Chain A
């Protein structure tokens, strides 16, 4: 593992240096990404121009959800989404180059293309989160702080696990990634709003089966001190780390199965 971090650090540094060389393009892309992802929040603002509460949640409470979900999504996008390039690698035949090295193929794929310019989303969501927190005038207890940190970490891990599962699916179905995208992008979009506004079946499928409900919603219930309209037990927010760990374990296992399949059938 240690060697992978060393490689990752160096790769990330090299990529950053490379990106900064083409400063204008970097800035354009960064700015473009910032604005595009900001549009989702503009939509929320427009909605709240017409109503004062949505499902019993105020603007800043929804903004909190948006920010938390966005930061987790943005971080996982920055670190893990390069797993999208796996089908391309397989097609070009360069995936084998990863298998001749004494390092796990998954770690190599993840370390491969760290993209600092994708930070636009994280920054934008973090700003919204900060503003929401300020406007909500929360009393910061140790518990709340811990839960917030936990929320961001678990959320990032959960989204990352979904990305990786999507990458693994590509070993069977080239479009596996697109299907997973509807879960990651869809999941991110969905958790920007309180999940009890969704029909029960959609809620269960997209929020519980995939774990995205634990990215922002449940921790937010604890932090914002809101009762759960669904009437679920009050320890749900504390399950986030467990869900994150389970998700990662499952994704890792799925990846291993995918590699085993690739190694017995060839490309």
Chain B
């Protein structure tokens, strides 16, 4: 356990050194948040509520989403696939440490840092310009924390499995772009899913991507109070389990490939 804590700390510190890049990133997040907020205001001016959202929900959603972009790893992580490409990964696989758990710990450190450094500032910017709505009851906050945690596990597991495909695919830039695009769209980052037409909303809600961003933020907005939280967490946990399982399967296949072919 001690090892994983150290690994997590290393992940945290590594990302903490990119100070200027973090500031620049926050700026980009804030700018996009502001633009999206105004667009949604214009939309909601026509229709007072859409789905369960009103305009304040939508604006809050926008800024929280922008803040969560990096911690949740919406743009994919390339650490593992980079190591696969250079061949360094072979060393990792022979270590007496669980490969998936190791990278999870590393990623947890990264996520913790980015939650603080990239997650909070855009929300502050939004709060300065607009009126945001945050839950007053502590139970909602706890529910959000739980939902967010599962979301990040799910996001990591998905990314992990995807990164591992680099063992078989040589140039995955194209597929990676496509995957990122689909994820961005279905997760609610571009537009809150409640705005989607019924059929598309249904598809999105049942996809793992919505479980990463849309659902936790909806919980924060208080859209799934009390018992209604259960199906939300359930679907998140289900996808997380599936993703982790897939990850282990792919990892097994990759390890076999390395052992047999020698990397």
Contact = CB atoms under 8 A, between A and B. Distances in A.
Do chains A and B directly touch (beta carbons under 8 Å) in the complex? yes
A197 B42 contact: yes
B34 A178 contact: no
Interface residues of A, number: 38
A54 interface: yes
Contacts of A182: 24, 27-28, 31-32
A53 B47 CA distance: 11
Nearest to A29: B174
Nearest to B18: A175
Interface string A175-212: 10011011001100110010001110010001000000
Contact of B195 (A46, A55, A173): A46
A194 B177 CA distance: 29
Interface string B171-194: 101110110110011000011000
Given A39-B181, A178-B21, A202 B34 contact: yes
B38 interface: yes
B178 A47 contact: no
A49 B35 contact: no
B196 A46 contact: yes
A40 B191 CA distance: 10
A28 B170 CA distance: 13
Interface of B: 20-21, 23-25, 27-28, 31-32, 34-35, 38-39, 41-43, 46-47, 50, 129, 171, 173-175, 177-178, 180-181, 184-185, 190-191, 195-197, 200
A115 to B, nearest CB: 13
Contacts of A202: 34-35, 38
A189 B42 CA distance: 15
Nearest to B176: A32
Given A36-B178, A49-B197, A193-B39, 16 more contacts: A25-B171, A25-B173, A25-B174, A28-B175, A40-B190, A50-B46, A50-B47, A55-B42, A173-B20, A174-B20, A179-B24, A182-B32, A186-B28, A197-B39, A202-B38, A206-B31
Given A47-B39, A182-B28, A35 B178 contact: yes
A14 B6 CA distance: 49
A54 B21 contact: no
Contact of B178 (A32, A53, A193): A32
B28 A36 contact: no
A53 B35 contact: no
B24 A178 contact: yes
Interface string A36-74: 100110110011011111110000000000000000000
B178 A51 contact: no
A12 interface: no
5 contacts: A28-B174, A178-B25, A178-B27, A179-B24, A198-B38
A75 B141 CA distance: 46
